[in-house]
Amino acid sequence: MSKLFKTSIVIALVAFVFTSCDKTRRKLQFMPDMYQSVSGEPYEESNVFENGSEAQLPAVGSVSRGHIPYEYPDTNEGYLSAKKNLKSPLTPEDFDSKKSAQLYQIYCVVCHGKKGNGLGDLVKREKFLGIPNYKDRDITEGSIYHVLMHGKNMMGSHASQLTEKERWLIVKHVQELRKNLLK
């Protein structure tokens, strides 16, 4: 094979590779399913289910994976019931004082202050008022957890920011702070 012939083959190949990469003028589709997927139509008529639609609500009582239901409602009765009955599932081995202090620092200190006396930076700068000193509140592990789940008046819920375990770790820290404030 002449050198010229070989060179022209290489050039032709390179040209082919580059032209085939031009997505604006695609002529040949390699594995077309990747581009033109079969679309599912959730609202399409179907006779698979009784109500005639493919889109179905989850069965009654289904729980999404990893979700732990919280059964105390966001009412005064729910608060009182949680205060009395809800107990921490953490065992002494689960407890990690460093981690709970860290979480408290991240989520609560701006308002409640490092010691829990209600003098966080936002209070000192008069940006937020009405934050209690933990020692002035008759709170239990259940009520603290309940307030983290549902919030209370001006305090928002922390349910979406924290996992169940993280919430219980914080609860323990609040109890420690309260104990120290009451000394």
Residue span 154-173 as binding mask against ligand HEC, x where in contact by CB under 6 A, dash where not: xx--x-----------x---
* Options 18-26, 29-37, 55-63, 129-137: segment touching ligand HEC (CB under 6 A): 129-137
In terms of CB distance, is 86 or 174 closer to ligand HEC? 174
* Options 16-24, 33-41, 47-55, 127-135: segment touching ligand HEC (CB under 6 A): 127-135
Task: Say how far apart CA 178 and CA 135 lie, in whole Å.
Answer: 5
Of 11, 130, 163, 179, the residue at the interface with ligand HEC (CB under 6 A) is 130
* Options 23-31, 70-78, 94-102, 143-151: segment touching ligand HEC (CB under 6 A): 143-151
C-alpha dist (Å) from residue 39 to 33, 48, 49, 53, 56: 11, 18, 20, 16, 17
Residue the block writes with tokens 């999404």: 64
Angle at 84 between CA 151 and CA 107, to 5 degrees: 30
Please return the burial class of 15, using the count of CB atoms within 10 Å of its CB with bins 0-12, 13-18 and 19+: exposed
Of 51, 172, 167, 175, the closest CA to residue 107 belongs to: 167
* Options 6-14, 15-23, 41-49, 150-158: segment touching ligand HEC (CB under 6 A): 150-158
Of 46, 95, 96, 110, the residue at the interface with ligand HEC (CB under 6 A) is 110
61 dihedral zone (left: phi>0; alpha: psi -120 to 50; beta): left
- Closest distance of CB 45 from ligand HEC, Å: 49
Distance from chain centroid for Cα 64: 13
Q: Which residues contact 128 (CB under 8 A, 6 or more apart)?
A: 111, 120, 122, 154
- 111 binds ligand HEC, rule: CB under 6 A: yes
Of 137, 157, 159, 176, the residue at the interface with ligand HEC (CB under 6 A) is 137
Binding site for ligand HEC (CB under 6 A): 107-108, 110-112, 128, 130-132, 137, 139, 143-144, 147-148, 152-155, 158, 170, 174
